């Protein structure tokens, strides 16, 4: 199956450099770039007014100075949130990033993006895909983009928008159990993204033998992760990738 010619790095910064900057912000991507990361993983979902923004949770309490549901905010209201102060004073005043702003920054930095379509409970997968995927396809070349999701509806809608040769799809798994292969085949996936703690040697081998790239989230202890490189994992999506550099095989 033809796929974009993606030169996958060993290390990808999870939610930006989220060990050192507030996750999923422009600051976190700038920090990742500054430490030499070439790819980032970020989450995208829609505000209540349909604007795609870079955000992980269904609510805003954990990563802002307010509370409530993201789905209840429009862009002007969301922009009033401080999304940096919770992490540290150095980031006070950081604002929620729209997808458009983030794509511009990533392209300016020449970075690659694993954009995770985050379909939280009660939200529409189709609406998210419609707003987020064409924007990402317009902004970045196919060699620097992987769209991933746990949500099969989101992945299927995404595949309808672009063929495998034009868009790399990553299928997210917690554990790689029965049915993983049919899910990946139907979606013409480029990559499998698995929770590293639940990955077996047998599962790793099966995924690699079928020709998929294998990315693991979210290891932060390079010593505990070392055997996974030996098994054939391609990339680690970590909050702190620089910790892994001296442990790469
Ligand atoms: O995309 C990998 C990883 O980000 C999936 O889990 O909850 O951190 O978005 P989460
Ligand atoms: Mg994610």
117 in contact with ligand 1, CB cutoff 6 A: no
The model's confidence at residue 40, banded by pLDDT at 50, 70 and 90, is very high
pLDDT at 196 over 90: yes
116 in contact with ligand 1, CB cutoff 6 A: yes
2 belongs to a structural domain: no
Q: Is the whole model's pTM more than 0.95, yes or no?
A: yes
pLDDT for residue 22: 99
Kindly state the DSSP code that residue 83 receives in the 8-state scheme.
Answer: S
Measured from the CA of 116, which atom of ligand 1 is nearest?
1
The model's confidence at residue 52, banded by pLDDT at 50, 70 and 90, is very high
Average pLDDT over residues 199-225: 97
CA distance 78 to 95: 8
Q: Could you read off the pLDDT of 125-162 as tens digits, one per residue? A: 999 999 999 999 999 999 999 999 999 999 999 999 99
243 in contact with ligand 1, CB cutoff 6 A: no
163: containing domain: 11-247
12 in contact with ligand 1, CB cutoff 6 A: no
Give the CA count within 13 Å in the CB-facing half-sphere of 86: 17
CA distance 111 to 37: 8
Task: Spell out the long-range contacts of 157-164 with Cβ–Cβ below 8 A and sequence spacing 24 or more.
Answer: 157/125, 157/126, 157/129, 157/130, 157/133, 158/117, 158/129, 158/133, 159/187, 159/188, 161/129, 161/133, 161/134, 161/137, 162/133, 162/137, 163/188, 164/1, 164/2, 164/3, 164/188, 164/190
CA of 235 to the centre of ligand 1 (A): 14
148 belongs to a structural domain: yes
Q: Which residue has the tokens 């789905």?
A: 71
88 belongs to a structural domain: yes
Q: Could you read off the pLDDT of 101-110 as tens digits, one per residue? A: 999 999 999 9
The model's confidence at residue 2, banded by pLDDT at 50, 70 and 90, is confident
Q: Is 227 a catalytic residue?
A: no
Q: Kindly report the CATH number assigned to the domain that includes residue 70.
A: 3.20.20.190
pLDDT for residue 1: 65
44 belongs to a structural domain: yes
The model's confidence at residue 187, banded by pLDDT at 50, 70 and 90, is very high
pLDDT at 242 over 80: yes
4 belongs to a structural domain: no
Could you give the number of structural domains in the chain?
1
pLDDT for residue 47: 98
Average pLDDT over residues 117-130: 96
The model's confidence at residue 213, banded by pLDDT at 50, 70 and 90, is very high
ipTM summary value? 0.99
Q: Is 56 a catalytic residue?
A: yes
């Amino acid at each position: 199956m033809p796929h974009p010619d993606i030169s996958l790095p060993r290390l990808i910064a999870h939610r930006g450099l989220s060990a050192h900057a507030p996750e999923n912000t422009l600051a976190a991507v700038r920090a990742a770039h500054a430490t030499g990361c070439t790819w980032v993983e970020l989450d995208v979902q829609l505000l209540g007014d349909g604007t795609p923004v870079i955000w992980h949770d269904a609510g805003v309490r954990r990563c802002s100075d307010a509370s409530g549901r993201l789905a209840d905010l429009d862009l002007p209201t969301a922009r009033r949130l401080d999304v940096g102060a919770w992490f540290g004073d150095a980031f006070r005043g950081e604002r929620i990033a729209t997808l458009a702003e983030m794509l511009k920054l990533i392209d300016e930095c020449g970075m690659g993006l694993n954009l995770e379509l985050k379909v939280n409970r009660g939200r529409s997968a189709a609406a998210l895909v419609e707003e987020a995927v064409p924007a990402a396809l317009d902004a970045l070349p196919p060699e620097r983009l992987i769209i991933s999701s746990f949500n099969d509806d989101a992945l299927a809608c995404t595949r309808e928008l672009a063929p495998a040769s034009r868009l790399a799809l990553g299928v997210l798994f917690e554990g790689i159990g029965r049915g993983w292969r049919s899910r990946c085949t139907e979606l013409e996936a480029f990559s499998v993204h698995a929770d590293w703690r639940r990955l077996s040697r047998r599962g790793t081998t099966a995924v690699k033998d079928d020709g998929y790239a294998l990315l693991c989230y979210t290891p932060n202890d390079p010593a505990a992760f070392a055997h996974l490189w030996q098994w054939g994992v391609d990339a680690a999506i970590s909050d702190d990738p620089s910790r892994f550099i001296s442990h790469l095989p």
